[in-house]
Amino acid sequence: MSKQLPSGVRKRVSEPVYPNDILGDTQLQMCTLTTRGAWFDSLLRMWADNTYELSGTNEELARIWGCTIDQTIAIISELNRRTPCDVTECRGIVTLTCRRLRRRHKQRDQNALRKQAQRHREASHAPVTPKKVPPSSSSPSSSPSSPSGEPPIAPPRGKRLTQKQKQRVKVSENTDLMVRIGAWFKRRPDTKWSILEAEALAELGDVADALDILEVYYTYDLLPDQDYRRRDLLTLLNHWTGECDRARKFTPPDRTDDASEYGRLDILGGKS
Protein backbone atom coordinates (compact mmCIF):
# COMPACT_ATOMS: atom_id res chain seq x y z
CA MET A 1 0.00 0.00 0.00
CA SER A 2 1.08 3.64 -0.20
CA LYS A 3 3.42 4.97 2.47
CA GLN A 4 2.01 6.83 5.44
CA LEU A 5 2.63 10.54 5.73
CA PRO A 6 5.51 11.22 8.20
CA SER A 7 4.69 13.11 11.37
CA GLY A 8 5.11 16.86 11.06
CA VAL A 9 4.67 16.87 7.27
CA ARG A 10 1.70 18.92 6.10
CA LYS A 11 -0.57 17.18 3.62
CA ARG A 12 -0.80 18.86 0.23
CA VAL A 13 -4.36 19.81 -0.70
CA SER A 14 -3.59 20.32 -4.39
CA GLU A 15 -1.08 19.29 -7.00
CA PRO A 16 -0.34 21.05 -10.33
CA VAL A 17 -1.23 18.77 -13.24
CA TYR A 18 -0.40 19.80 -16.79
CA PRO A 19 -2.01 18.08 -19.80
CA ASN A 20 1.38 17.45 -21.41
CA ASP A 21 2.46 15.43 -18.36
CA ILE A 22 -0.10 12.79 -19.37
CA LEU A 23 -0.66 13.34 -23.08
CA GLY A 24 3.04 13.91 -23.82
CA ASP A 25 4.10 10.46 -22.58
CA THR A 26 4.05 8.39 -25.78
CA GLN A 27 4.60 5.09 -23.99
CA LEU A 28 1.65 5.77 -21.69
CA GLN A 29 -0.60 6.65 -24.63
CA MET A 30 0.20 3.24 -26.16
CA CYS A 31 -1.31 1.55 -23.11
CA THR A 32 -4.94 0.49 -22.96
CA LEU A 33 -7.57 2.76 -21.46
CA THR A 34 -7.77 0.49 -18.40
CA THR A 35 -4.02 0.75 -17.76
CA ARG A 36 -4.02 4.53 -18.23
CA GLY A 37 -6.91 4.89 -15.79
CA ALA A 38 -5.20 2.67 -13.20
CA TRP A 39 -1.94 4.65 -13.50
CA PHE A 40 -3.71 7.99 -13.14
CA ASP A 41 -5.58 6.64 -10.10
CA SER A 42 -2.20 5.60 -8.65
CA LEU A 43 -0.80 9.10 -9.24
CA LEU A 44 -3.70 10.68 -7.36
CA ARG A 45 -3.08 8.38 -4.39
CA MET A 46 0.65 9.18 -4.40
CA TRP A 47 -0.10 12.92 -4.42
CA ALA A 48 -2.62 12.52 -1.59
CA ASP A 49 -0.14 10.53 0.56
CA ASN A 50 2.83 12.80 -0.26
CA THR A 51 4.93 9.93 -1.63
CA TYR A 52 6.20 8.71 -4.99
CA GLU A 53 5.43 4.98 -4.61
CA LEU A 54 2.41 2.71 -4.47
CA SER A 55 3.02 -0.82 -3.15
CA GLY A 56 0.87 -3.84 -2.54
CA THR A 57 0.10 -7.40 -3.54
CA ASN A 58 -1.92 -8.15 -6.66
CA GLU A 59 -5.03 -8.59 -4.50
CA GLU A 60 -4.50 -5.26 -2.72
CA LEU A 61 -3.90 -3.37 -5.96
CA ALA A 62 -6.99 -5.00 -7.46
CA ARG A 63 -9.08 -3.62 -4.59
CA ILE A 64 -7.54 -0.17 -5.02
CA TRP A 65 -8.20 -0.05 -8.77
CA GLY A 66 -11.60 -1.78 -8.54
CA CYS A 67 -10.82 -4.59 -10.97
CA THR A 68 -10.18 -8.33 -10.98
CA ILE A 69 -6.82 -9.93 -10.15
CA ASP A 70 -6.38 -11.01 -13.79
CA GLN A 71 -6.91 -7.43 -14.93
CA THR A 72 -4.46 -6.21 -12.28
CA ILE A 73 -1.76 -8.62 -13.49
CA ALA A 74 -2.35 -7.41 -17.06
CA ILE A 75 -2.10 -3.76 -15.97
CA ILE A 76 1.16 -4.34 -14.10
CA SER A 77 2.61 -6.27 -17.03
CA GLU A 78 1.72 -3.48 -19.46
CA LEU A 79 3.15 -0.78 -17.16
CA ASN A 80 6.36 -2.79 -16.89
CA ARG A 81 6.55 -3.23 -20.66
CA ARG A 82 5.67 0.35 -21.66
CA THR A 83 7.67 1.85 -18.74
CA PRO A 84 5.64 4.99 -17.93
CA CYS A 85 6.83 4.18 -14.39
CA ASP A 86 9.32 1.92 -12.61
CA VAL A 87 7.84 -1.46 -11.66
CA THR A 88 9.62 -3.73 -9.16
CA GLU A 89 8.45 -6.92 -7.48
CA CYS A 90 9.96 -8.44 -4.35
CA ARG A 91 8.46 -11.32 -2.37
CA GLY A 92 5.02 -10.84 -3.87
CA ILE A 93 4.91 -7.08 -3.26
CA VAL A 94 4.61 -4.96 -6.41
CA THR A 95 5.89 -1.37 -6.23
CA LEU A 96 5.02 1.31 -8.77
CA THR A 97 7.38 4.32 -8.69
CA CYS A 98 6.68 7.65 -10.39
CA ARG A 99 10.03 9.02 -11.57
CA ARG A 100 8.80 12.61 -11.74
CA LEU A 101 7.56 12.59 -8.13
CA ARG A 102 10.74 10.84 -6.97
CA ARG A 103 12.85 13.62 -8.47
CA ARG A 104 10.61 16.20 -6.81
CA HIS A 105 10.94 14.53 -3.38
CA LYS A 106 14.70 14.26 -3.83
CA GLN A 107 14.91 17.97 -4.69
CA ARG A 108 12.81 18.81 -1.61
CA ASP A 109 15.10 16.77 0.66
CA GLN A 110 18.21 18.39 -0.81
CA ASN A 111 16.72 21.87 -0.35
CA ALA A 112 15.95 21.02 3.28
CA LEU A 113 19.54 19.85 3.84
CA ARG A 114 20.98 23.01 2.28
CA LYS A 115 18.67 25.20 4.36
CA GLN A 116 19.65 23.42 7.57
CA ALA A 117 23.35 23.77 6.74
CA GLN A 118 22.81 27.48 5.99
CA ARG A 119 21.04 28.04 9.32
CA HIS A 120 23.86 26.38 11.24
CA ARG A 121 26.50 28.38 9.36
CA GLU A 122 24.67 31.60 10.17
CA ALA A 123 24.29 30.55 13.81
CA SER A 124 27.99 29.78 14.10
CA HIS A 125 28.91 33.27 12.81
CA ALA A 126 26.32 35.20 14.83
CA PRO A 127 27.77 37.50 17.52
CA VAL A 128 26.94 36.67 21.10
CA THR A 129 25.55 39.61 23.09
CA PRO A 130 26.64 39.53 26.74
CA LYS A 131 24.08 39.88 29.48
CA LYS A 132 23.90 43.31 31.03
CA VAL A 133 24.35 43.27 34.80
CA PRO A 134 22.74 46.24 36.55
CA PRO A 135 25.15 48.05 38.90
CA SER A 136 24.50 47.69 42.57
CA SER A 137 26.27 48.96 45.68
CA SER A 138 23.95 47.70 48.41
CA SER A 139 25.83 44.61 49.44
CA PRO A 140 28.51 42.20 48.19
CA SER A 141 25.81 39.56 47.62
CA SER A 142 24.11 41.73 44.97
CA SER A 143 27.31 42.40 43.07
CA PRO A 144 28.02 40.63 39.75
CA SER A 145 28.81 36.94 39.96
CA SER A 146 32.38 37.43 38.72
CA PRO A 147 34.90 36.30 41.39
CA SER A 148 36.81 39.58 41.16
CA GLY A 149 33.63 41.67 41.35
CA GLU A 150 34.18 43.01 37.80
CA PRO A 151 31.49 42.87 35.10
CA PRO A 152 31.50 39.60 33.11
CA ILE A 153 33.65 39.59 29.98
CA ALA A 154 31.81 39.33 26.67
CA PRO A 155 32.51 36.03 24.91
CA PRO A 156 34.29 36.19 21.54
CA ARG A 157 32.36 36.35 18.30
CA GLY A 158 31.15 33.02 16.94
CA LYS A 159 33.55 31.07 14.74
CA ARG A 160 33.09 28.46 12.05
CA LEU A 161 32.35 25.01 13.48
CA THR A 162 35.25 22.57 13.53
CA GLN A 163 34.92 18.96 12.34
CA LYS A 164 34.60 17.71 15.93
CA GLN A 165 31.92 20.29 16.67
CA LYS A 166 30.00 19.28 13.54
CA GLN A 167 30.04 15.70 14.80
CA ARG A 168 28.47 16.76 18.10
CA VAL A 169 25.93 19.30 16.83
CA LYS A 170 22.71 17.75 15.48
CA VAL A 171 20.36 18.91 12.75
CA SER A 172 17.01 20.35 13.78
CA GLU A 173 15.00 17.65 11.97
CA ASN A 174 15.71 14.54 9.89
CA THR A 175 14.40 14.40 6.33
CA ASP A 176 12.69 11.32 4.88
CA LEU A 177 15.93 10.49 3.07
CA MET A 178 17.90 10.66 6.34
CA VAL A 179 15.42 8.37 8.08
CA ARG A 180 15.60 5.82 5.25
CA ILE A 181 19.41 5.66 5.15
CA GLY A 182 19.69 5.72 8.94
CA ALA A 183 17.47 2.63 9.17
CA TRP A 184 20.20 0.62 7.42
CA PHE A 185 22.33 1.20 10.53
CA LYS A 186 19.47 0.46 12.98
CA ARG A 187 18.98 4.13 13.76
CA ARG A 188 15.65 5.22 15.15
CA PRO A 189 13.73 7.78 13.05
CA ASP A 190 13.99 10.35 15.84
CA THR A 191 17.79 9.99 16.17
CA LYS A 192 19.05 13.26 14.70
CA TRP A 193 21.92 13.28 12.22
CA SER A 194 25.02 15.31 12.93
CA ILE A 195 25.86 18.39 10.89
CA LEU A 196 28.86 16.56 9.46
CA GLU A 197 26.69 13.68 8.23
CA ALA A 198 24.07 16.04 6.78
CA GLU A 199 26.73 18.00 4.86
CA ALA A 200 28.26 14.77 3.52
CA LEU A 201 24.82 13.67 2.26
CA ALA A 202 24.14 17.07 0.65
CA GLU A 203 27.47 16.93 -1.21
CA LEU A 204 26.44 13.64 -2.87
CA GLY A 205 23.68 15.38 -4.84
CA ASP A 206 21.30 12.98 -6.61
CA VAL A 207 21.30 9.65 -4.76
CA ALA A 208 17.82 8.41 -5.73
CA ASP A 209 19.06 5.99 -8.39
CA ALA A 210 21.38 4.17 -5.95
CA LEU A 211 19.07 4.01 -2.91
CA ASP A 212 17.22 0.83 -3.84
CA ILE A 213 20.41 -1.06 -4.72
CA LEU A 214 22.19 -0.01 -1.52
CA GLU A 215 19.11 -0.74 0.59
CA VAL A 216 19.00 -4.35 -0.62
CA TYR A 217 22.74 -4.68 0.03
CA TYR A 218 22.78 -3.08 3.49
CA THR A 219 19.62 -4.71 4.84
CA TYR A 220 20.53 -8.25 3.79
CA ASP A 221 21.48 -10.55 6.69
CA LEU A 222 25.06 -11.59 5.96
CA LEU A 223 27.29 -13.89 7.98
CA PRO A 224 30.09 -12.09 9.88
CA ASP A 225 32.86 -13.63 7.75
CA GLN A 226 31.09 -12.48 4.56
CA ASP A 227 30.13 -8.99 5.71
CA TYR A 228 32.40 -6.27 4.28
CA ARG A 229 29.90 -3.43 4.49
CA ARG A 230 30.62 -0.11 6.19
CA ARG A 231 29.83 -0.07 9.88
CA ASP A 232 29.45 3.70 10.21
CA LEU A 233 26.99 6.03 8.47
CA LEU A 234 29.54 8.79 7.86
CA THR A 235 32.01 6.27 6.41
CA LEU A 236 29.33 5.07 3.98
CA LEU A 237 28.59 8.65 2.86
CA ASN A 238 32.30 9.34 2.34
CA HIS A 239 32.69 6.15 0.24
CA TRP A 240 29.29 6.26 -1.48
CA THR A 241 30.48 5.61 -5.04
CA GLY A 242 32.57 2.59 -4.08
CA GLU A 243 29.74 1.11 -2.04
CA CYS A 244 27.33 1.58 -4.97
CA ASP A 245 29.71 -0.42 -7.21
CA ARG A 246 29.98 -3.12 -4.57
CA ALA A 247 26.18 -3.25 -4.16
CA ARG A 248 25.65 -3.66 -7.90
CA LYS A 249 27.91 -6.73 -7.89
CA PHE A 250 26.29 -8.16 -4.76
CA THR A 251 24.49 -11.49 -4.98
CA PRO A 252 23.10 -13.24 -1.86
CA PRO A 253 25.56 -16.04 -0.91
CA ASP A 254 24.56 -19.55 -2.00
CA ARG A 255 21.37 -18.16 -3.59
CA THR A 256 22.61 -17.15 -7.04
CA ASP A 257 19.73 -18.82 -8.86
CA ASP A 258 17.15 -17.12 -6.66
CA ALA A 259 18.68 -13.63 -6.55
CA SER A 260 15.61 -12.01 -8.07
CA GLU A 261 13.60 -13.00 -4.98
CA TYR A 262 15.48 -10.35 -3.03
CA GLY A 263 14.82 -7.64 -5.55
CA ARG A 264 18.28 -7.35 -7.08
CA LEU A 265 17.39 -8.43 -10.60
CA ASP A 266 14.21 -6.35 -10.59
CA ILE A 267 16.02 -3.27 -9.38
CA LEU A 268 18.95 -3.62 -11.79
CA GLY A 269 16.58 -4.34 -14.63
CA GLY A 270 14.31 -1.38 -13.86
CA LYS A 271 14.20 1.41 -16.42
CA SER A 272 14.42 5.02 -15.46
Q: What is the DSSP string of 200-259?
A: HHHHH---HHHHHHHHHHHHS---GGG--S-SSHHHHHHTHHHHHHHHHT---TT-GGGG
What domains are defined for the chain?
A: 19-97 (1.10.10), 168-251+263-267 (no CATH)
- pLDDT, tens digit, 9 for 90 and up, residues 171-226: 888 998 999 999 999 999 999 999 889 988 988 888 888 888 888 889 888 888 88
pTM exceeds 0.85: no
Cα separation of 148 and 152, whole Å? 10
Cα separation of 150 and 266, whole Å? 72
Confidence at residue 67, expressed as pLDDT on a 0 to 100 scale: 94
Average confidence score pLDDT of the chain: 77
- pLDDT, tens digit, 9 for 90 and up, residues 124-173: 665 545 555 555 544 444 433 433 344 333 334 445 778 888 888 888 88
